[in-house]
Amino acid sequence: MAREVARLIRRSLFVLLINLVVLTAATAADGSVTVDEVLSETGARLQWDAARQVGVFWKGYTRVSFRYGTGYAVVNDRDIMPLVSTLGPDGTLVFDASSAAALRERLIPQADRERRRISAIFIDPGHGGRDPGTIGRHKVGGELLEIQEKDIVLDVSLRLRELLQASFPDRDIVMSRKDDVYLTLEQRTDLANAIHTDVNESVLFVSIHANASLNSRASGVEVWYLTPEFRRSGLIDAERVGVSDSEVLSILNTMREEEITIESVLLARNILSSIYSEVGNQSPNRGLKKEAWYVVREAKMPSVLVELGFVTNREEALRLADKHYLQRLAHGIYNGIVQFISGFEE
Ligand SMILES: [Zn+2]
């Protein structure tokens, strides 16, 4: 399901830029094959940008990107492989025998070889130390109840870590902070970006905050993701990929950006609906929000930000002061992450 959605979105994103190659079949005695034969043998799809002469073969989560005339292709933005193509008499792309074999090997994978995996989950409780975040003060039975964002988001994050560690002993569950310390936004994203991943592995970034409003009636949970219009740079490690062509790097960067956006939206959706299942009878669902928001802007991975509720709303502040309620919020976020992972790795 998730994969179908992703595929649909991807397709529509490319519609403006890409013209599909018109294909005709031809067979050669030297073992070379036409692009048409590659597609029918492997079941892959091809997107071709005629203006830039850049093509991308897609099969499942495998992408083989190449530019005509360069003699190489890049697999999943990471591995480089030789790929020699020429143009046949009728303008059809033709690959030599060894390039055709390499394409078959990449696009008809052995079971599980190309399978993607979430290897780590990065939990980022907002604020901390000298930065309390938002503060709610309410009179409750003659006493003053004060709750600080930095405390409740740390509490929920530690509960979330415990749930994830119990379910995923083979994945790294990393926290930006485990106690009441101050970290800059840059330190947080640097920590997440520094997590080591192997090929086909990815990290999830979940930042946790609480809300405040001048309107004391505002309440409910929100999940944010980065607006698709925002463009990060340097998503592709040129050295790792072994490509210095800035045009190819820029195209690879755009493709990776689109992929991260699609995954962030799916993660946000899963988390929001799971939190709603847990606490929807108490706290309204304020929906998915997108913004070029600052916290996870430079995180080079699927990233979301969860707003647990409004400390400025009296009823919600009472709920957020209750450990059982915080456990239910943590459980909601946990369920959403589990759902996302099972879709991502299917
Ligand atoms: Zn905050």
Which of 9-13, 136-140, 251-255, 259-263 bottoms out in mean pLDDT, i.e. has the lowest?
A: 9-13
Element (H, E) at 139: strand 135-140
Residue 114 pLDDT level (bands cut at 50, 70, 90): low
Distance from chain centroid for Cα 20:
27
pLDDT (average), residues 299-322 = 92
Predicted local distance difference test score (pLDDT) of residue 8: 45
93, 96, 101, 103: CA torsion to nearest 10: -30
112 belongs to a structural domain: no
CB atoms within 10 A of CB 272: 24
CA of 48 to the centre of ligand 1 (A): 43
Q: In a 3-state reduction of DSSP, which class is residue 19?
A: coil
Residue 267 pLDDT level (bands cut at 50, 70, 90): very high
Report DSSP letters for 112-127, one per residue. TTT--EEEEEEEEE--
pLDDT (average), residues 32-45 = 89
CA of 273 to the centre of ligand 1 (A): 21
Decide: 290 and 272 in contact? Cβ < 8 Å. Answer: no
Whether 192 and 135 share a structural domain: yes
| Domain range enclosing 30 | 2-107
Q: Of 62, 85, 107, which residue is a domain's last?
A: 107
Whether 54 and 135 share a structural domain: no
Give the residue with greater pLDDT, 60 vs 306: 306
Predicted local distance difference test score (pLDDT) of residue 76: 82
pTM score above 0.85? no
Whether 172 and 308 share a structural domain: yes
pLDDT (average), residues 304-322 = 94
Distance CA 114, CA 242 (A): 20
pLDDT in tens, 39-79: 988 888 888 888 888 888 988 778 899 988 888 898 887 78
Take residue 143 and report the two structure tokens written for it: 């006493």
Per DSSP, 131 falls in state B
CATH code at position 47: 3.30.457.10
Domain count, the chain: 2
CA of 81 to the centre of ligand 1 (A): 45
Whether 233 and 124 share a structural domain: yes
Q: Of 107, 139, 166, which residue is a domain's last?
A: 107
Whether 77 and 149 share a structural domain: no
Question: Hey, which residues does 117 pair with through a beta bridge?
Answer: 201
CA distances for 20 relative to 37, 45, 54, 267, angstroms:
15, 10, 11, 31
Report the percent of the chain where pLDDT is more than 90.
Answer: 43
288 belongs to a structural domain: yes
Whether 40 and 130 share a structural domain: no
Q: Of 46, 81, 107, which residue is a domain's last?
A: 107
Report DSSP letters for 20-73, one per residue. PPP----B-TTS-EEHHHHHHHH--EEEEETTTTEEEEEETTEEEEEETTSSEE
Predicted local distance difference test score (pLDDT) of residue 242: 64
Predicted local distance difference test score (pLDDT) of residue 177: 97
Decide: 116 and 286 in contact? Cβ < 8 Å. Answer: no
Is residue 129 over pLDDT 60? yes
CA of 259 to the centre of ligand 1 (A): 27
CA of 123 to the centre of ligand 1 (A): 14
Whether 58 and 194 share a structural domain: no
pLDDT (average), residues 262-266 = 88
230 belongs to a structural domain: yes
CA of 134 to the centre of ligand 1 (A): 7
Whether 325 and 297 share a structural domain: yes
First to last CA, the chain: 10
Strands 54-59 and 62-67: antiparallel
Predicted local distance difference test score (pLDDT) of residue 297: 60
Predicted local distance difference test score (pLDDT) of residue 22: 34
Predicted local distance difference test score (pLDDT) of residue 112: 46
CA of 309 to the centre of ligand 1 (A): 11
pLDDT in tens, 96-108: 988 998 898 888 8
Per DSSP, 244 falls in state -
Take residue 228 and report the two structure tokens written for it: 């698709």
CA of 262 to the centre of ligand 1 (A): 24
The mean of the pLDDT values for the chain is 83
Report the percent of the chain where pLDDT is more than 70.
Answer: 82
Give the residue with greater pLDDT, 64 vs 330: 330
Whether 165 and 85 share a structural domain: no
CATH code at position 299: 3.40.630.40
Whether 339 and 211 share a structural domain: yes
CA of 295 to the centre of ligand 1 (A): 9
Residue 250 pLDDT level (bands cut at 50, 70, 90): confident
Take residue 212 and report the two structure tokens written for it: 């405040």
238 belongs to a structural domain: yes
Residue 237 pLDDT level (bands cut at 50, 70, 90): confident
Q: Return the residue matching tokens 């009472």.
A: 318
CA of 243 to the centre of ligand 1 (A): 39
Whether 157 and 12 share a structural domain: no
How many residues are present in the chain?
346
Whether 158 and 273 share a structural domain: yes
Q: Kindly report the CA angle at 245 between 260 and 39, in degrees rounded to 5?
A: 65
pLDDT in tens, 185-208: 889 888 988 998 887 788 999 999
